[in-house]
Structure 1
Amino acid sequence: MRPNASLTAELSRFAAQLTFELDPFQRQACTALEEGHGVLVCAPTGAGKTVVGEFAVHLALASGGKCFYTTPIKALSNQKFADLTARYGRERVGLLTGDQSINPDAPVVVMTTEVLRNMIYASSDTLRSLSHVVMDEVHYLADRFRGAVWEEVILHLSPEVRLVSLSATVSNAEEFGAWMETVRGNTAVVVDETRPVPLWQHVMVGRRMFDLFDSESSDQRVLVDSDLVRFIKQRENADRMESWGGGPRGRGGPRRFFRPLPRPEVLARLDEEGLLPAITFIFSRAGCDGALAQCLRSGLDLGGSSDPEVVDAIIEKHTGELPRADLEVLGYWEWREALHRGLAAHHAGMLPAFRHTVEELFVKGLVRAVFATETLALGINMPARTVVLERLVKFNGETHAELTPGEYTQLTGRAGRRGIDVEGHAVVLWQPEVDTSAVAGLASTRTYPLRSSFKPGYNMSINLIDRLGAEEARLLLERSFAQFQADRSVVGLVRGIERNEGQLRKLAAQLGGEDGDFLEYFGLRERIKQRERQLNQQTRTDRRTAGVAALTELRRGDVIAIGAGRRAGLAVILEPDATPGDPRPLVLTEDKWAGRVSVADFPVPAQPLGRMRLPRRVDHRTARTRRDLASALRSTGITAPHRPRRDKRAAGADDSELGALRRALRAHPAHTRADREQLARIGERYNRVARETESMRQKVATTTNSLARTFDRIVGLLEERGFVHEGEVTGDGRRLARIYAESDLLVAECLRQGLWRGLGPAELAAVVSVLVYESRSEGGYLGATGPTEPIRRAVAATIAEWSRLRNDESEHRLAPSREPDLGFVGGIYKWARGDALADSLLASGDQGTPLSAGDFVRWCRQVIDLLDQINSNADDTEVAGTAAKAVRAIRRGVVAVDAA
């Protein structure tokens, strides 16, 4: 394009190099940046926010300064590195991701945000002459695991550095911008909510596709398409009539005849409508793989006129270095066939080389349908014409929950390719449980607040003390976005307290004044209620404690009676559990059900009624085993007692304090007044407002300076353990300052105490993995086992130190450190000693389920990262050398290929 006279000088030069006209929000943000302001840009996916980041690169080069371009994930860093290298040449652009270091002294360096944070804490020379920093996807600061890194960088960067923050659309952009203004100085907030490619919303019912919204919908009034509502009602009525007309019924009523359209037919239907390429989001890796397999079995071929030689060339570019012996294990041939048919899956369980192949083929239009988990929506540049959502519920790590409006927008934001499509399409597949009004609400809501996840940890705290001292560190924490948001919430609480205090004065006047008899009398009533609540709570606690103790003492083969719930009756203990506070033994009932029970299943503590012999190995997952054991249980002759009842006596019947309060109440002069009950209603209201006011006061007290108080507790623990002495960081503390891992303090303690001495490279890798690996199943596997005696000893010592650390954290009222997890010990040990990939995968994973190749590679690289840090920071040269050897042993085969 030709230079625009209305643009500032450098922006005019920059715009002249572009092949498109700048949008108004891009011009506004770039102008503010050239005028010396920091910039926060919030705009939808695909709107072109990165143009502002690229202008920051242009400004830095024009002024002879440096620009760091940060991204949250390595894949995005690699992508941006390729883009900037193509524009400015390899000699002017570098890359730092932890895995790779390319031209780190270049004037433009792309890196992950963690790398920049580490450079700041290390006072790296590379920071000299830094004039601009781009923080792409800055809304990641809401991420509860990694979000603190973004705030650390924002708070620590030199004030002279111009910060360009690029975010998805959030509803509190002004609040975030106000905080940025507070901590970074003049910051322009630029918000654009216009999608560059309009998005149409649809619902597919069987083979018919409807618009979601009625043509008369507006911002003020959202209407669901009447044809869609009518068709669904007709379909449901037809199913109901057919079901009640004599068709087979399931439990709980008439059988549902509706079946979702098979995936191959969904894709064929989209192809008929000209809506490919499409991404179908399925919130499960196994679901993505299963969908792909279903399409392959169907014979569906979307490859069309694709050139197979081009497809093969791209496959070879990414996978050519994979060991031939591993291809069968990786499912290479089926994966390759799917790509030739224009089909693919995309999820974190895939080998990185496979994922990157899929991404390139999709962008080039050679793959036309991808089944993906939601991770694809987080920054990967892989837009489609259409996005399909099979379900509107996903597992959030704890439970199955409905999609939030923000998640829905993030996923459907992939629909519509700028410069290719004139419109994008989002398609929800209808099922009987789908409420079209709820879908319309998801698609039309525009409220996505950004909430800080910032909180001090051990590494952060030790670095703050080392750089600033404890007092300055507290002040910096009080400037965080987390505290900024907390303090804003305090304003509303304080107003509420003031309002309630006025109401209390009025109510007290109606009761005869602050010093009147009735306030004293109702104070006694309130104390009696509180004491009764305390005693009831104590009774429940004692009952649970007794129930937990009883469950903990049960042994394999004990026959018990489950006293409550659907599983009431006899059961035999298959696998005891002594987990402190929440034992959940595995049982088999006389009704052939196998599963875990908890203290909630027992109204009174469980007691053995007898015993039965069990086979040495019981596979409770097979129906035959359950049937045989249930039959043996019934034949023992043990009978369940009548369902026990809890003691219904009132709690506190013999409590002296409660008795004294009740006597004082009866003796009070107000107790015999004729108008007592009329005034009682006012007294109850007074007490309710007083309780509410006290609750708000406590919230204010806990919210104000909450991060500084957490920091003080951390410092107390670090002083107790010798990492800080009289406000100064010790030598051990400086080692902790250089360890960037979730279990940073535990790693530092293990190194200091020499717990990992005497291990071989593969053994050290196995032991280190327990501080990195996280099982996908609920609760990791915790137990001192391992393939060699040195591993078992070192793991046991590591777990013992973790247990001591958790006790200290409890005393200092700090959140507990994560548990060690042994699920990767066997797999990484085999791999590091040179075993085949198939054997290493089988030895990894949760409860006998092998890891996927992608997960295996990801965890190997996490172990490598921690081993690299041990090599750099261990005082013991033997441990450091072993760590270096372990890194070389792991970095082979699939782990070494496509290390991005």
Structure 2
Amino acid sequence: MAGTRRYDLFVYDQESLVNAGLEQIVRDEVRNERMGGGRQHNGRRPRSAHTPWRSDAIDRLARDGLLPSIYFLFSRAGCDDAVKQCMNAGLKLTSQSERVTIRAAALEATQNLPPGDLAALGYEEWLAGLERGISAHHAGLLPLFKEVVEDLFQQGLLKVVFATETLALGINMPARSVVLEKLVKWNGEMHVNLTPGEYTQLTGRAGRRGIDIEGHGVVLWHPGLDPRALAGLASTRTYPLKSSFQPSYNMAVNLVSRIGHHAAREILETSFAQFQADRSVVGLATSLRKHEDALEGYREAMQCHLGDFEEYAQIREDANRREKDLTRDAAGQRREAAFTSLRALRVGDIFIIPGGRRSGPVVVLDPGSSNPRDEPRPMVLTADRQVRRISTVEITAPVEAIAKIRIPKGFNARNAQSRRDLAASLRDLTADLSHERTRRKSSGDDAEVLEMRARIRHHPCHGCSDREQHARWAERYMRAKREIRDLEQRVEGRTSSIGRRFDQVCEVLSELGYLTNSGGTAKITPPGKMLMGLYTESDLLAGQCLREGTWRGLSAPELAGAVSAIVYESRRSEDDESPRLPGGAVREALREMAAIWGMVHDAEARHGLSITRPLDAGFVWAMHRWASGATLQSILDSTDLTAGDFVRWTRQVIDVLGQVSVALESDDPMRFTAYEAVDAINRGVIAYTSQLE
């Protein structure tokens, strides 16, 4: 859709030919940009005249009889903003009778929720959108609200749902049309183009069985849209399946317990994941043969009548590699020294960022993690009032505190006046201070390099008049040898890779005492039997916490908070402030858990694994408060959590607490604490959600 006009992507009856009208729009946009109409303002490309407004696009779909529609956006905030925009535009897509039915359905579904929770959830705003036939649908929405949206949409009462891509996975919400505002999404790290499989998954929601003859996928025009690239997305018909299966610790102890290590390994090697890995070896083997054939040709081409040029070329390569290693080692030493200096900084220390775009004096607001395994990321205030976390990429040499400033009690980094006052003090203190950039020390002449350079000068081939021509062939020869070694390693790595990973998992379990080897046969130990009941993603970490007694003696709210740290995965960026934590026993438990994670991480590293993710304390305070009886309103107001996220993570904490209670002995006091924690958590909107499940 460009403007308020819909264009067919392909010429009728010629699915390989893109509509000429769309290509004309591309030419018009290019011409406009060349004439100055496409200049960027504030770093952003101006809105194209062909890009329809959301309300206009929906109005056009309504007039064309293409509602109900799923309008895909790739952010939760974008979905919520779209609903507000349509409301503000006065869009109303339902009849009076439909509005009555919608209100009755919403009231019936939410009648058991406490009024205070409804207010915290923005119920009235949500209901107002429903009555107009408009709603959002994403993971941040309360599960009960999502169920109401899905039910009303299936009945045809809701006309437009603004949704994230998760709606396209496993939810029965067929529509007459599907709208894609852009063909680019944020994957958590960067903006990436939609793949053909993702495009088909999203647009495949268009067309209701038994109602519509065909569905309509509508892509809104936006700057940079390439109709030919869109045609490629729309015309792709086959998509590769890729297995993500990997053996886990819980899976390993259960398999070994039931059928033994050898039989378990054989079963895993018949998995689809191993089939895919083995199939990929065929292509690698073909490439390996081609490189071996080329190697012989390069060897003949580099022959020298004065001596063994392969030997000469190898000495040259060894010397170059040694020099690169020395340079890298020196850089590593400087980096480690920089890390050490960053870890030594304390609140109020002033230091200089020596170079780069962000050079200048800064004052430390938060030194960051005290765990020596974590990368130091102190939060600082710059002289121009910016609060950010220092990236270790910026600090290439050690830094030191050149002065110290007292941070006012109750300083709030989010308050503009507080930042302004502190930045002014920083500028005053550093105005007369000078600093010199640390010079990098030369590593000097390395004896090994000098010896190899001497061998090069005295080699017979060094005096050959065609030496550099031979050297070019030798470079190709050496490169081919490296590629052959790499291909051989990749072939070896993919053959029986699932079985080898299972062996590595079992080795970690044996080292930590969950498995034992008796007469060449792996056996489950008592800790291994406990681990059989822990199927959370951080199963081994949870098992170690139980074995070490880390959670023993905690109250129910404290246990709930501590357990949340192995469950929760935050959406925070690294520049955000350290999470708020309750005091007392919870903090001590978290410190012990961090040490246990470090031990597990080291054990995994010794066996070539990296399975257990680090702790995330971003949900601890909210979980502790909820288990202590706080209201939903107070928690949502004091955190960045949405209602849907709060319910989802709380349900997962309840799940892990249930696993913990089962894993413990029947008379263990901590088992009753886990039961008590579940009872304290499973109330209000959480309890009502669990009843629906």
Which TM-score applies when normalising by structure 1? Answer: 0.71
1:298 to 78, 89, 100: 89
2:597 — aligned with what?
802
Kindly state the Cα deviation for residue 252 of structure 1 after the two structures are TM-superposed.
6.5
2:382 to 576, 582, 589: 589
2:3 to 206, 212, 216: 206
The Cα RMSD (Å) is: 3.0
User: Aligned pair in 2 of structure 1 residues 645, 833: CA closer, same or farther (>3 Å)?
Assistant: closer
Matched residues in 2 for 1:531 and 1:462: separation? 45
**CA deviation vs aligned residue, 1:28-74 (integer Å, no higher than 9, x gap):** xxxxxxxxxxxxxxxxxxxxxxxxxxxxxxxxxxxxxxxxxxxxxxx
User: Aligned pair in 2 of structure 1 residues 258, 620: CA closer, same or farther (>3 Å)?
Assistant: farther
Q: What is the identity, as a one-letter code, of the residue corresponding to 2:152? A: L
Kindly state the Cα deviation for residue 882 of structure 1 after the two structures are TM-superposed.
2.1
Kindly state the Cα deviation for residue 280 of structure 1 after the two structures are TM-superposed.
0.8
Between 565-574 and 481-490, the greater mean CA deviation after superposition = 565-574
1:229 — aligned with what?
23
1:728 — aligned with what?
523
Matched residues in 1 for 2:662 and 2:36: separation? 71
Tell me the SS of whatever aligns to 1:549. Answer: helix
Contact 2:175-2:206 at 8 Å conserved across structures? yes
Contact 1:781-1:822 at 8 Å conserved across structures? no
Contact 2:174-2:205 at 8 Å conserved across structures? yes
Contact 1:456-1:711 at 8 Å conserved across structures? yes
Tell me the SS of whatever aligns to 1:344. Answer: strand
**CA deviation vs aligned residue, 1:609-637 (integer Å, no higher than 9, x gap):** 43344333444444444444443333334
Tell me the SS of whatever aligns to 1:572. Answer: strand
1:746 matched to 2:541: yes
Matched residues in 2 for 1:734 and 1:637: separation? 61
Contact 1:346-1:372 at 8 Å conserved across structures? yes
1:423 matched to 2:214: yes
1:631 — aligned with what?
424
User: Aligned pair in 2 of structure 1 residues 790, 601: CA closer, same or farther (>3 Å)?
Assistant: closer
1:119 — aligned with what?
none
Task: Map 1:236-315 onto structure 2 (within 5 A).
Answer: 237=31, 243=37, 250=41, 258=49, 260-315=51-106
Kindly state the Cα deviation for residue 693 of structure 1 after the two structures are TM-superposed.
0.9
2:130 — aligned with what?
339
1:819 to 614, 623, 627: 614
User: Aligned pair in 2 of structure 1 residues 868, 692: CA closer, same or farther (>3 Å)?
Assistant: same
Kindly state the Cα deviation for residue 456 of structure 1 after the two structures are TM-superposed.
1.4
User: Aligned pair in 2 of structure 1 residues 623, 763: CA closer, same or farther (>3 Å)?
Assistant: closer
Which TM-score applies when normalising by structure 2? Answer: 0.91
User: Aligned pair in 2 of structure 1 residues 487, 255: CA closer, same or farther (>3 Å)?
Assistant: closer
Q: What is the identity, as a one-letter code, of the residue corresponding to 1:827? A: A
1:598 — aligned with what?
391
Contact 2:306-2:464 at 8 Å conserved across structures? no
Matched residues in 2 for 1:293 and 1:562: separation? 43
2:147 to 356, 364, 369: 356
User: Aligned pair in 2 of structure 1 residues 461, 516: CA closer, same or farther (>3 Å)?
Assistant: farther
Kindly state the Cα deviation for residue 514 of structure 1 after the two structures are TM-superposed.
14
1:693 matched to 2:693: no
1:879 matched to 2:654: no
Task: Map 1:557-568 onto structure 2 (within 5 A).
Answer: 557-568=348-359
Q: What is the identity, as a one-letter code, of the residue corresponding to 1:589? A: T
Kindly state the Cα deviation for residue 832 of structure 1 after the two structures are TM-superposed.
2.6
Q: What is the identity, as a one-letter code, of the residue corresponding to 1:334? A: E
Contact 2:335-2:396 at 8 Å conserved across structures? no
Tell me the SS of whatever aligns to 2:10. Answer: coil
Matched residues in 2 for 1:639 and 1:759: separation? 53
2:173 to 374, 382, 389: 382
Q: What is the identity, as a one-letter code, of the residue corresponding to 1:759? A: L
Contact 1:603-1:646 at 8 Å conserved across structures? no
User: Aligned pair in 2 of structure 1 residues 868, 311: CA closer, same or farther (>3 Å)?
Assistant: same
1:185 — aligned with what?
none
**CA deviation vs aligned residue, 1:644-699 (integer Å, no higher than 9, x gap):** 486496xx651111111111111112212233233222222211111111111121
User: Aligned pair in 2 of structure 1 residues 574, 435: CA closer, same or farther (>3 Å)?
Assistant: farther
1:855 matched to 2:645: yes
Aligned length: 684
Matched residues in 1 for 2:395 and 2:176: separation? 55
1:89 — aligned with what?
none
Task: Map 1:311-322 onto structure 2 (within 5 A).
Answer: 311-322=102-113
2:409 — aligned with what?
616
Kindly state the Cα deviation for residue 368 of structure 1 after the two structures are TM-superposed.
0.3
User: Aligned pair in 2 of structure 1 residues 234, 517: CA closer, same or farther (>3 Å)?
Assistant: closer
Matched residues in 2 for 1:513 and 1:587: separation? 61
Tell me the SS of whatever aligns to 1:394. Answer: strand
Q: What is the identity, as a one-letter code, of the residue corresponding to 2:565? A: V
Task: Map 1:389-538 onto structure 2 (within 5 A).
Answer: 389-512=180-303, 517-538=308-329
Tell me the SS of whatever aligns to 1:872. Answer: helix
Kindly state the Cα deviation for residue 226 of structure 1 after the two structures are TM-superposed.
1.8
Matched residues in 2 for 1:881 and 1:767: separation? 16
Q: What is the identity, as a one-letter code, of the residue corresponding to 2:663? A: N
Matched residues in 2 for 1:744 and 1:502: separation? 49
Q: Whose relative contact order is higher, 1 or 2, with alpha carbons under 8 Å and at least 6 apart?
A: 2
1:197 — aligned with what?
none
**CA deviation vs aligned residue, 1:439-491 (integer Å, no higher than 9, x gap):** 33322333421111111111111112112212222222222222221122222
Q: What is the identity, as a one-letter code, of the residue corresponding to 1:808? A: A
Matched residues in 2 for 1:873 and 1:400: separation? 43
Kindly state the Cα deviation for residue 416 of structure 1 after the two structures are TM-superposed.
1.3
Kindly state the Cα deviation for residue 364 of structure 1 after the two structures are TM-superposed.
0.5
Contact 1:782-1:820 at 8 Å conserved across structures? no
2:627 — aligned with what?
832
Matched residues in 2 for 1:566 and 1:426: separation? 45
Kindly state the Cα deviation for residue 753 of structure 1 after the two structures are TM-superposed.
3.0
User: Aligned pair in 2 of structure 1 residues 208, 784: CA closer, same or farther (>3 Å)?
Assistant: closer
Contact 2:368-2:578 at 8 Å conserved across structures? no
Matched residues in 2 for 1:209 and 1:262: separation? 14
User: Aligned pair in 2 of structure 1 residues 696, 781: CA closer, same or farther (>3 Å)?
Assistant: same
User: Aligned pair in 2 of structure 1 residues 254, 873: CA closer, same or farther (>3 Å)?
Assistant: closer
User: Aligned pair in 2 of structure 1 residues 784, 239: CA closer, same or farther (>3 Å)?
Assistant: closer
Kindly state the Cα deviation for residue 298 of structure 1 after the two structures are TM-superposed.
2.4
Matched residues in 2 for 1:208 and 1:632: separation? 58
Tell me the SS of whatever aligns to 2:617. Answer: coil
Contact 1:306-1:366 at 8 Å conserved across structures? no
Contact 1:782-1:819 at 8 Å conserved across structures? no
User: Aligned pair in 2 of structure 1 residues 836, 723: CA closer, same or farther (>3 Å)?
Assistant: same
User: Aligned pair in 2 of structure 1 residues 606, 213: CA closer, same or farther (>3 Å)?
Assistant: farther
Determine what percentage of the aligned residue pairs are the same residue.
46
Matched residues in 2 for 1:290 and 1:866: separation? 35
Q: What is the identity, as a one-letter code, of the residue corresponding to 1:870? A: V
Kindly state the Cα deviation for residue 565 of structure 1 after the two structures are TM-superposed.
3.1
Kindly state the Cα deviation for residue 711 of structure 1 after the two structures are TM-superposed.
2.0
Tell me the SS of whatever aligns to 2:393. Answer: helix
Matched residues in 1 for 2:633 and 2:93: separation? 32
Tell me the SS of whatever aligns to 1:327. Answer: helix
Tell me the SS of whatever aligns to 2:648. Answer: helix
Contact 2:347-2:367 at 8 Å conserved across structures? yes
**CA deviation vs aligned residue, 1:374-427 (integer Å, no higher than 9, x gap):** 111001010111111122222212222222221111111111112111221122
Q: What is the identity, as a one-letter code, of the residue corresponding to 1:349? A: G
Matched residues in 1 for 2:203 and 2:679: separation? 42
